């Protein structure tokens, strides 16, 4: 049984504007772009690729709420419940009466949780961790080259000519290691 | 492309005939080349200062706080002065990367990485002082709300000193994370260029496998924006809470509602001055003349003039209120006729000259666009801001409510040694950073090459675009 192997075609561009034009021309021909590797965030790329908006900021809000809750619970438990004390003439009657003194703690823990948990989520979602294998197929894409990755199980000639026409300066073909 | 259009009246932020690849090369150069003689000399001086400081810290801990110049009346002095000074310096970095990101200021991109490094290193120095001041630094963990052997005796959340613990540790950790998230793509750039195996290995670990996928860049930009939004109130909260250490007390001169905004303005003032001091050297030594231009210096000097003005207004209002109140105790606060003519007159006038008078020279355009004068003035501001904290703490305490306990203050050699040590530690960290880290956020800087570089502005002119 012979299974059609997936071939990977890399088109390398040396300018961000040419890349954007290239993406448009490829998409007009109905070619699906598998991935883009670029050295810096190119303005307008999200729209050109039709990327969905990221939800990470909404998640950060939720993490922040968690921090607020945590700080509220912490200050209530330690100051009002577990061992209430009269410190400096400020008796610990009820949390809401002591609350003004807890605002700084609540604020800091909110920021702390929102920032750190958001960054951890970001690293996990992007599969970034210490000493991970570089994700980019060509080392020049962190310098000044822009790479479009296409995949096909059919003949690659079509893709190559389209990439060439769209302004790619260099094209390489690889077989997907299975 | 009209996408990259920027009004021609705006000065170029990247000079010379630069391409994307040139930016890569210029940023990677200090990492890839060997350190020069100048770097080694500076490093050894900083290292010996650090060693001296460590010696003084061990002497303090081994013998006790009595080796300092403190006394029963002036019970906070040199150490807390240094703490507040270092925290203040640690304010510019996050302000530059967070607030200026929210305002979409492109000029932040050449300086934000180094300014943030400075912030983090300065907060490290600041954190040392309260820990040493505890006397038993091995018990420092008592400030954390963890169940303990005393039958769940909790730290006092009503205390501004505990707020400080939370504020500074949050500020330090969030700033470090913000800095590191931005560094990942730049570490990847160095990884992809590295030829030496050990270097390649180290930067592979640090770059977390970054490859620059489109989706990842989208998330990167989103978290940068959210982190900037979180860091902006954070940066203002930190020095506000530091000022609460004083403002919520009942000491005359400290018990003042003006403190929070005035401390924040002072912190930005001193932080920007320290950025000017460091970049003045780094620009030359690391050959970043094309990226840190006169325009960058000028923008920073404008921030210095504005925040310096706010600080000066606060000084004047404190002075007038002390005089107008007619209270004899108010005449011994750090801003009062009594302070200007009393035993600490030199500290009072050092503050006025360094912080109020000298920075006014920045109103003149040739001065604020001059690298030399910016550098000189920044040194004066650093000194002036140190004296501000010294005045607030020592002057106010030295004449308390009981005239029989009035006294002066003189630092001991240990006090001075620890201060020199923290300066050494700061520069050791900064010098190591300058040789091993990408000192400019090169990935983000590349996004403005086509809009704000001298080359592309010229190209647009020639094509008669707009």
B247: distance to nearest CA of chain A, Å?
14
Q: pLDDT-derived band of residue B423, with 50, 70 and 90 as boundaries?
A: very high
Contact flag A111-B184 (C-beta cutoff 8 Å): no
The pLDDT score that the predictor gives to residue B2 is 45
Model confidence over B333-391: pLDDT tens digits? 888 888 888 888 999 999 999 999 999 999 999 999 999 999 999 999 999 999 999 99
In the predicted structure, residue B248 carries a pLDDT above the cut 80? yes
Contact flag A40-B185 (C-beta cutoff 8 Å): yes
Question: In terms of residues, how long is chain A?
Answer: 178
* Percent of chain B surpassing pLDDT 90: 49
In the predicted structure, residue B302 carries a pLDDT above the cut 90? yes
**Interchain contact B29–A (C-beta under 8 A):** no
DSSP string, B166-192: HHHHHHHHHHHHHHHHHHHHHHHHHHH
Q: Which of B125-129, B389-393, B426-430, B457-461 shows the lowest per-residue confidence on average (mean pLDDT)?
A: B457-461
The pLDDT score that the predictor gives to residue B412 is 92
* Percent of chain B surpassing pLDDT 70: 98
Nearest chain A residue to B24, by CA: A143
Model confidence over B56-106: pLDDT tens digits? 999 999 998 889 988 888 888 899 999 999 999 988 888 888 888 888 888
C-alpha to C-alpha distance for B57 and B398, rounded to whole angstroms: 25
The pLDDT score that the predictor gives to residue B168 is 93
- Chain-centroid distance of CA B205 in Å reads 28
Residues of chain A with pLDDT under 50: 1
Contact list in B for residue A68 (CB cut-off 8 A) is none
Evaluate whether B379 touches B277 at the Cβ level (below 8 Å): yes
Contact flag B181-A105 (C-beta cutoff 8 Å): no
**Interchain contact B142–A (C-beta under 8 A):** no
Average pLDDT over residues B394-417: 89
Contact flag A142-B233 (C-beta cutoff 8 Å): no
Average pLDDT over residues B443-465: 82
Average pLDDT over all residues of chain B: 89
Evaluate whether B422 touches B128 at the Cβ level (below 8 Å): yes
DSSP label of B360: G
Contact flag B191-A134 (C-beta cutoff 8 Å): yes
Query: Which residue in A88, A108, A119 is closest to B166 by CB distance?
Result: A108
Average pLDDT over residues B279-308: 89
C-alpha to C-alpha distance for B379 and B83, rounded to whole angstroms: 18
The pLDDT score that the predictor gives to residue A3 is 61
C-alpha to C-alpha distance for A98 and A119, rounded to whole angstroms: 32
**A91 or B398: which carries more pLDDT confidence?**
B398
The pLDDT score that the predictor gives to residue B151 is 64
Contact flag B157-A115 (C-beta cutoff 8 Å): no
Average pLDDT over residues B404-433: 93
The pLDDT score that the predictor gives to residue B163 is 93
Contact flag B166-A129 (C-beta cutoff 8 Å): no
Element (H, E) at A36: strand A35-37
Contact list in A for residue B165 (CB cut-off 8 A) is none
Query: Which residue in B3, B157, B225 is closest to A78 by CB distance?
Result: B157
Contact list in A for residue B20 (CB cut-off 8 A) is 39, 143-144
Q: pLDDT-derived band of residue B139, with 50, 70 and 90 as boundaries?
A: confident
Average pLDDT over residues B290-306: 91
In the predicted structure, residue B5 carries a pLDDT above the cut 80? no
Whose structure tokens read 């003084």? Answer: B56
HSE-CB at B318 with a 13 A cutoff on CA atoms is 27
Beta strands in B149-298 (DSSP E): none
The pLDDT score that the predictor gives to residue B1 is 44
C-alpha to C-alpha distance for B457 and B327, rounded to whole angstroms: 62
**B151 or B233: which carries more pLDDT confidence?**
B233
């Amino acid at each position: 049984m012979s299974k059609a192997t997936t071939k990977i075609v890399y088109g390398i561009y040396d300018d961000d504007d040419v890349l954007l034009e290239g993406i448009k021309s490829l998409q007009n021909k109905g070619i699906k772009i598998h991935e883009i590797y670029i050295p810096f965030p190119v303005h307008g790329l999200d729209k050109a690729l039709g990327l969905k908006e990221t939800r990470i900021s909404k998640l950060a809000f939720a993490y922040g709420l968690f921090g607020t809750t945590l700080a509220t619970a912490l200050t209530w438990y330690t100051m009002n419940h577990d061992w209430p004390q009269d410190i400096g003439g400020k008796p610990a009657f009820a949390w809401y009466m002591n609350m003004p003194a807890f605002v700084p703690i609540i604020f800091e823990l909110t920021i702390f949780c929102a920032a750190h948990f958001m960054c951890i989520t970001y690293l996990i979602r992007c599969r970034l961790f210490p000493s991970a294998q570089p994700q980019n197929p060509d080392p020049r894409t962190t310098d000044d080259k822009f790479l479009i990755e296409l995949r096909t199980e059919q003949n690659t000639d079509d893709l190559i000519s389209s990439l060439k026409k769209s302004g790619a300066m260099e094209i390489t073909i690889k077989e997907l290691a299975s | 492309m009209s996408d990259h259009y920027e009004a021609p009246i705006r000065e170029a932020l990247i000079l010379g005939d630069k391409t994307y690849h040139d930016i890569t090369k210029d940023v990677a150069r200090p990492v890839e080349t060997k350190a020069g003689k100048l770097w080694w000399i500076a490093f050894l001086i900083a290292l010996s200062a650090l060693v001296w400081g460590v010696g003084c810290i061990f002497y303090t801990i081994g013998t006790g706080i009595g080796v300092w110049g403190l006394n029963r009346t002036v019970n906070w002095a040199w150490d807390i002065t240094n703490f507040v000074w270092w925290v203040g310096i640690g304010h510019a970095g996050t302000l530059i990367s967070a607030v200026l990101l929210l305002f979409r200021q492109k000029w932040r991109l050449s300086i934000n990485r180094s300014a943030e490094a400075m912030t983090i290193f300065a907060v490290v120095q600041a954190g040392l002082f309260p820990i040493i001041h505890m006397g038993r630094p091995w018990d420092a963990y008592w400030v954390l709300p963890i169940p303990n052997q005393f039958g769940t005796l909790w730290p006092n959340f009503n205390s501004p000193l505990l707020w400080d613990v939370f504020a500074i540790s949050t500020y330090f950790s969030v700033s470090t994370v913000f800095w590191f998230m931005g560094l990942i793509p730049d570490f990847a750039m160095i990884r992809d260029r590295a030829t030496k195996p050990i270097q390649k290995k180290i930067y592979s670990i640090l770059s977390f496998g970054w490859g620059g996928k489109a989706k990842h860049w989208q998330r990167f930009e989103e978290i940068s924006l959210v982190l900037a939004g979180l860091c902006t109130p954070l940066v203002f909260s930190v020095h506000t809470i530091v000022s609460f250490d004083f403002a919520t007390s009942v000491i005359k001169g400290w018990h003042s509602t003006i403190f929070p905004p005035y401390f924040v303005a002072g912190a930005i003032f001193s932080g920007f001055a320290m950025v000017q001091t460091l970049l003045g050297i780094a620009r030359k030594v690391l050959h970043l003349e094309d990226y840190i231009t006169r325009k960058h210096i000028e923008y920073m000097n404008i921030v210095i003039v504005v925040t310096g003005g706010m600080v000066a207004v606060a000084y004047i209002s404190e002075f007038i209120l002390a005089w107008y109140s007619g209270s004899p105790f108010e005449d011994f606060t750090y801003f009062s006729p009594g302070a200007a003519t009393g035993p600490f007159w030199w500290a009072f006038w050092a503050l006025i000259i360094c912080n109020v008078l000298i920075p006014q020279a920045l109103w003149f355009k040739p001065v604020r666009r001059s690298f030399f004068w910016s550098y000189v003035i920044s040194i004066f501001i650093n000194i002036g801001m140190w004296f501000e904290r010294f005045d607030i703490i020592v002057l106010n305490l030295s004449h308390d409510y009981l005239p029989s306990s009035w006294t002066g203050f003189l630092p001991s050699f240990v006090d001075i040694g620890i201060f020199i040590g923290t300066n050494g530690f700061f520069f050791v960290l900064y010098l190591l950073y300058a040789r091993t880290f990408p000192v400019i956020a090169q990935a983000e800087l590349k996004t403005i090459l086509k809009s704000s570089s001298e080359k592309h502005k010229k190209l647009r002119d020639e094509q008669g675009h707009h």
